[in-house]
Each structure stands twice: as C-alpha cells, then as structure tokens.
Structure 1
C-alpha cells in the first residue's frame, strides 16, 4: 500500500498528513494502521525510534473519533513530559481542521489549570502516569468528573510501553487502569522500540484480538539492533579528566559544527557540565527532572532551533524525542541497562542519516561495556581522533578552572538542597 488513503484513513486526515509533509506510510504504519482501524485489533507495535510510531497509533484513533467527535475518546500514556508534549502537538496538528481538544496532563504544570481543562471534556488526554493518577485520586464528580469520562473512552495507548510496564510506574498505572473500561470494551495499543516479555505478556491468551508487529525484531537489515548508519566508538579515559576530553572533542574540527547530545546518569553532573561548558563559550543547554517544567520546555526548544548546539541530559531525553538533526551522542556516563544505551544512541542516525555514538569508558565501566556489546551483538571501535598531549596542552587547565568555578557556584546556590527538596515533593503524589 503506497498511500494513507489506501490504509483506510479518511480524506481529511490524509490531507492533514500531507500538510505536515508526511505523504508515504512507513513500514510500521502500513502494517498497524489497517489492523487497528479496519479490523478493530489491539496492537503491539515494535520499531526503532524515528520510524513513525506516533502516526501509527494516532491516525486510526483520530479516524474513528471523527465519526462521532464528542466526549473523551482516547488516552495516551508516556513516561516523560517532553515526549507527552511532542505527542500532544502531533494530535493537535493532525486534528486542527476538526476542532480537536487535546489535554496535556504532566507534572510540573499548574494543577488547577489542568483541572479546568479536564472539566471541559477533551477528546484526547496525553499524560504522564503520575500526574494523571493524582487527578484521578482527587477527582470531583461535581466539577472535573474525570473518572466518568475515562470510563467511556475507546482507546488506551501505552507509548514506550516497555518502560511504562516497569515497577517505576506500576502503582500509577494500576490507579489509572482500574477506572478504564474493561479490555473487551476498548482498544489497547502498545508501541515501543523494545518489545519486552512484559509487553508480550499482555497479548497472551488473546491472540485473536491482538495484532503484534515488530520490524525485523527491531533490528537493521543486516540483523543488527544498531542501524548501519550509526558508528559506535569508545574511548578509555581516567575519571578525573573526562570534562577536559569532552570539551576537546566537541570543539575539535571534526565536531565543531555538530549538534550533540551528552548523556549523564545524574542531574548533578548534568548541571555541572552545563555550567562548565557555558563558561567555556559553548552554546549549551540542559534537560533533567529537577528543572522546572517551563525551563525544560524552553531548553528543548532552544536545542531544536539550534540556538544551543549541545544538549546535556539525563535519560529523560533518551526516549522517543524527535530531534532529527543530532549528529552525535556522547555517553559521558555509561548506563547500567544496555537497552538504555540503545535508546540513547537512537537520538542520532535517524531516518537513514549518519551519526556517531561515543562512550567515555573508565576502568569501572568495563563490565557495562561488555554487557552492551553482548546486547547489541557487535563491538565498538576505539576512538583514535584525540591524543592525551593535545588535551593537556589545549584544554585541561581552563576546563579544570571552569569546572571548579561551576561547582563552587552550585554549592553557593544550594543546588543539592534544591534537588533534595524537589525529591521530597515528588514523593508526594505529584509525580510525573
């Protein structure tokens, strides 16, 4: 099938896609849209980031909704605020000509304003589980009447389903799902880049009503989990000079014009690196869970607009975000979970473009690298474009000075205290 109309989508939706310059269905869209839309199937869809999964679940939902556009029709749950915002923007763009009402329900935003929005009977809710669970627990039948609306919806979507079905979200998901219609009265759509056993288990014993499609087991044409356009490198360096090597690499001739995402395991390191690189005149921004939501939104917009060419982030940026111009991903810290490495690397080499992934490896990281190489079925290549003497001569002293000043300023501002206070708030039902 070569067009969205041939997949069964109505003319108005095909026109909306065309206006967004989306004219040819991707593989995941070609296989999943007809099963969801025409056959009424539940669906598990597995495909790499950038393959068009959002369109694969959004368009059949919107197509069915347009036949009777009243009341709450669908709920999309996703693990991060940024991904929820991105999905909400796509729903709004696709349904712009149909007066669609979409509510974005995520942590960090005004709770009362969200209550008012929910009481206006949106057609679709795009939410992070923690914040939506909090609204359900505190629902007022005389105002919001959220539970009553949720009991009538027709679609439930779990985006990044493998992550949502972990212990992290278990309590909030339970709160949400218990107020939804029974399985046989709604369609359930699960999409992810990694189909885990937990995801697969949801279709067990119900194969007639579930359609599962995974593109080549989420592998590339040559059988690799990593696309052939992505080059994987590692560099062995001592822990105490990582910042100097980082600065030297991102200012090298090879990467001076590249858009780069740097992943760290802790928010404190993200903040330290952001301040350090800013002092060294790098156009840098950051993204992590301890930032106010407006700052997070502004930061991502700055990076997408290339106002900042370097984004330093925790794993809130590792999943699903559509930032097509990223030329390089740097794992400043090596993740514990090999699948996290795969998701991080998926921020570059998207849609057939070339990209580089570079991992900083200290002696304590060797076992993690071995686990990652076992998971992806390939070995990384040693990065040989940098020499110790050059780093020491050009970068070490000024980077060390900038780092020291950044740490002193963070201590003066009580960054650690602020982070501790935020953690206490997060433990009170306002999670996202």
Structure 2
C-alpha cells in the first residue's frame, strides 16, 4: 500500500495503480491515477482548499492576455501591463482587467488611468467617417431645401456644413413628423429644430398662411441660461426674415411675464416650464395657433421635478397624431422632443397627447458611448488633496507651449456649498475665476455665464446647472472636482468639450475619492474597454403599461 499526502488529506492507494505526479507549486501536488488492471477506479477525495487553489491558478493563467498591440493606446494607466490598444477587441465573454479594480483600497490613492482620444474629429461631424482612404464629401444646407435667406444667414455665422443629427432631423421635421431625437451633446441639436421651424414660419408668412398675430412655436427648456442661449440663436436666424423671438424665464414675478407679452406677441417663444405654466394659468398667451412645441433637454424635462409642469403644458397644446394634421388653417402642433439621452418615463407622458407609433425616433450611433475624440483621465485622490491637484492642472494648462492662457475651464461640484468653498480656496491661491450655482438669483446667473462665454474669465466653478445644453465652445478642460452621481450626469458634463465648432483637443479630468464613485468609474472603464454604451441608460421609448381595472365579481 502507498501513502500520498495532498494538502491536508492522506490518500491510500493499492500498489496495482500507477500514479503520475505533477508538481505545480512548492506546497501543492496534483496527480492522476492510471489503473494497470480493469478493476474499478477508487474514489479519491480532494480537499476544498486544493480545489480552490487549482481554480485560482487556472484563472490567473487565463488572465495573462496581452491587450497591447502596435498602434495607439486606448487605455493607458500607471500599471503598463493593464494598458489596452485601440486595435484590441475583447471576446464576448472575456472579462476585461481594469486599472481601477483595486481603487476601493486606501493604498490606491495616486493611481490613475486615461481613456485616450482615438479620433481627431467628432463622430457627429458629417463626412468625418472614412471609407478606406476616401472621405465622404461634406454636404451643405442647400441639400436640405432650406430657404436661401436662411442659408445666407448661416454662412454669415460661419456655419456651412450640417452635422449628422441635422441631416437626419431637419427633413423629418419639414415633412410634419413628430420627432424624438436623442444625440450626443454638442452635436448641433438646437439648429436641427430651429432651422426647419424658422423656414416653415417664413414660408407661411410669404404665403399669407400665418393667420392672426399669435405664437406659432414654443421651445421649453429647463433653465433660464439655456433659454437665453436658444433665444440668441433663434434671433440670429429670425432677424433677417422679420420674425420675432422672446423669452420668459423663472426667478421673476407674474408682472414681468405679463410685461413680456405686452411688448407684442412673438413668433417664437423660448420659456422655462415654471414661467410658461404661470403664463398659461393667467391667460397671458394663447396656444391655439401653435405649430411647433419643442421640449429641449428632454431627460431633464421629464424628470419628476419638471414632469408635472410639462404635462400641464402638453394639456394646453393640441398635438398632431399624423403629418397631415400639421398643415392647413386647422393645423395641429408638431411635437419635437430633443435630448442627449433618452428620458425615462417619456412614453407614459407622450402617450397621453399623441400616438407613440407615429413618432419618428432619431438616435445617434454614438448615443450613450464615451466620446472617442475627447481625452478622459481618472485620478484616485484623497479629498484634502483635490484643491492642490486642481491648482496644478490649471497652472499647467496656462504654461503649456503654444497656449495663450485663453482656454476656458469648467470645474463641476455636486453642491452649491462646495462651489462657494472651492471659490474661497481659489482666491487664496490667486486663481481668477467665477462661480455659478443654482442658489444664485436668475439674473446674476445669466450675467455670470454671459461673461464666461465672452471670455471675461476663463475658469468657472459650477454645479450641474451648467451641464445641460449650454454653449461652451470655448471650453478645453472639464474638471469633475466632485465625481458625478450618475452616468447621465457624466455624459452631460463631459459633453461640455469637443462640441461642434468648439476648440480641438478637449479633455476631461475626474477626481475619484469615495468607494461609491469607484463603482461608477469601473463601469465607465469597462464600457470604454469593450466599446459599449454606458450601463443603465434608456435607448428606446417604452410603451406605457396598460391599466388593469379591478372588478368585483
């Protein structure tokens, strides 16, 4: 009888069996038993600790996969062995090894990784995709059958080529369809609805189909800053055509709202939901002649904080259910819902005012993906060190060769109190800046953002009030001083750089401090390595669930 010790167990084997020993490590031995006679094999019990060790060895061997090939790196971190090339593709069931895997441990502070920009041109720029060595020819606005006066106005604004979302959306709007458009931030969605609206109103005016002087288009946006921005674009398009654009926003009383309409009835009204609901309840405006209702930044507008007001606005509007209902004197309003992400609950609300099946859904190819033309860095840092890291990056940006110091920076915080505290710290360090947060009066906020857009100051400390829809074409660097709480917030913040018509070489820097932030970062890194969408994001309109009425039997 032979005795063989494996782990903590001693196995007794008859001499008639020949054993084959395979030593894998210094303290563990694995073996196989081959019978020398046709007798039945004995039962050999292997300790659980030995089995677990064997599984760990198998997993560690399977993980030694080289994800680095020749060419540009997609993921680049402190640990070079975890880098991933842009040309590497993960298998369907292959689990990527993350640079941020151990970031919940306190020893990980100081670690970092970067998702490099693998494209130099934004994917939403029409003609940016290459087919072999031949680039697609750039299309012009003449191809979209827009009036010549509008095209000349766009050329004066140095806008000559439509973006991809504009090529997809404008023809559908001009045919009278209700639209749900979801495309990445900075892709030109504002012009995608304003151009066909202004074209249609100008055409109706020339044909004397406008009717009485009434409001014919309403654009609803979540903030006063965005209302002023959209109105500014609308005025630049409308002024040469004799059309009028006005705004009403929150933060002011009913007297101001009435004063806006006493100046004259505009053709296009840009409003925040609260101000618009006040005006409707006090009968300051009439929407019976409305031709267009636009809900911009839809993911915010369908949020519970705005949903009730939005439903009230929709109830005052006669929405068309088919393109044929948007023509003639008895026309109904077209509904245009626009945003950077698909809003949750959109189906439940829209089903009350129109036929969901008749809505045309326009979805960008890169919707909910990380932007491939923007460099994004994640730094694991202690909370007390974030101010010094921020100051270091701001000074480095100003001292880079070839930089004039005119590049704008957005620094995002999660709370208004953090914005104020960080502002005091920046003052002590001698960093010129401005602050923008939701607790400020509306007029003060509008003035601060306008001065930032004009270049009066280059560093803006802000909350998410500046992350939705605002034109930040000057911005080259976005800093997440506080990491955003959701993937949607991250997409909107990161979308402040790399915009159509903006400066090239945009970057996003995110400070990661807390364990719950690490979980979001790991999902972002996994999506970047697999080149998939960020998890948990809506990508379709969900039909409302049927209401089942209870009956007493």
* TM-score, structure 1 as length reference: 0.79
Cα distance between partner residues in 1 of 2:291 and 2:493: 33
Gaps of 5+ in 2: 1-137, 322-331, 532-553
C-alpha displacement of 1:26: 1.3
Distance 1:201 1:18, change over 3 A: farther
CA distance in 1, matches of 2:179, 2:523: 31
Q: Is the contact between residue 249 and residue 255 of structure 1 (CA under 8 Å) also seen in structure 2?
A: no
Within 5 A, what are the aligned runs for 1:194-213?
194-196=341-343, 198-199=345-346, 206=355, 209-213=358-362
1:1-400 equivalent positions in 2, closer than 5 A = 2-37=139-174, 39-66=175-202, 67-68=204-205, 69=210, 70-109=213-252, 111-119=254-262, 120-137=264-281, 139-140=282-283, 144=284, 146=285, 149-184=286-321, 185-196=332-343, 198-199=345-346, 206=355, 209-218=358-367, 225-252=369-396, 257=405, 258-351=407-500, 353-364=504-515, 365-374=517-526
Describe how 1:402-421 pairs up with structure 2 within 5 A.
none
Query: 1:281: how far off?
Result: 2.1
SS in 2 for 1:216: coil
Mapped to 2, the partners of 1:109 and 1:21 lie a distance apart of 35
- The verdict on how the C-alpha distance between 1:108 and 1:254 changes in structure 2, with shifts beyond 3 A counting, is same
2: CA distance, partners of 1:214 / 1:202: 20
In the TM superposition, residue 189 of structure 1 has moved relative to its aligned partner by 0.5
Instruction: Kindly state the Cα deviation for residue 217 of structure 1 after the two structures are TM-superposed.
Output: 4.6
Distance 2:529 2:320 in 1: 37
**1:220-271: per-residue Cα shift (whole Å, max 9, x none)?**
xxxxx12222111111222223222222221236767342100000001111
Alignment check: 8 A CA contact 1:9 1:63 kept:
yes
**Cα contact 1:264–1:332 (8 A) shared by 2:** yes
1:198 offset after TM fit, Å?
3.4
User: Residue 112 and residue 374 in structure 1: after superposition, are their counterparts in 2 closer, same or farther (change >3 A)?
Assistant: farther
* 2:140–2:161 CA contact under 8 A, matched in 1: yes
- Report SS of the residue matched to 1:360: strand
Alignment partners' CA distance in 2, 1:176 and 1:374 = 41
Structure 1: 5+ residue runs without aligned partners? 220-224, 380-432
State the 1:76 CA deviation: 0.6
Q: What do the CA deviations read for 1:330-379 (whole angstroms, capped 9, x no partner)? A: 11111211110011011112238222111111134222323444566669
Paired residue for 1:389? none
Tell whether the 8 Å contact from 2:221 to 2:301 is kept in structure 1 after alignment. Answer: yes
Q: Deviations over 1:265-299 (max 9, x none)?
A: 00011112123213322120111111122221221
8 Å contact kept, 1:326–1:348: yes
CA contact (8 A) 2:300 2:343 kept: no
Mapped to 2, the partners of 1:363 and 1:24 lie a distance apart of 44
Corresponding residue for 1:393? none
Contact 1:341 1:372 (C-alpha < 8 Å) held by counterparts: no
Counterpart of 1:411 in structure 2 is none
Q: Deviations over 1:196-237 (max 9, x none)?
A: 453466777946632221121526xxxxx1222211111122
User: How many residues of Structure 1 are paired with residues of Structure 2 in the alignment?
Assistant: 366
> What is the Cα-based RMSD across aligned positions, in Å?
2.4
CA distance in 2: counterparts of 1:26 and 1:11, whole angstroms: 19
Deviation string, structure 1 residues 60-97 (Cα, Å, up to 9, x no partner): 11111111353110111111211111100011110001
Secondary structure of the 2:144 match is coil
SS at match of 1:65: helix
Structure number, greater radius of gyration: 2
Q: Helix, strand or coil: the match of 2:336?
A: strand
| Greater per-residue helix proportion | 1
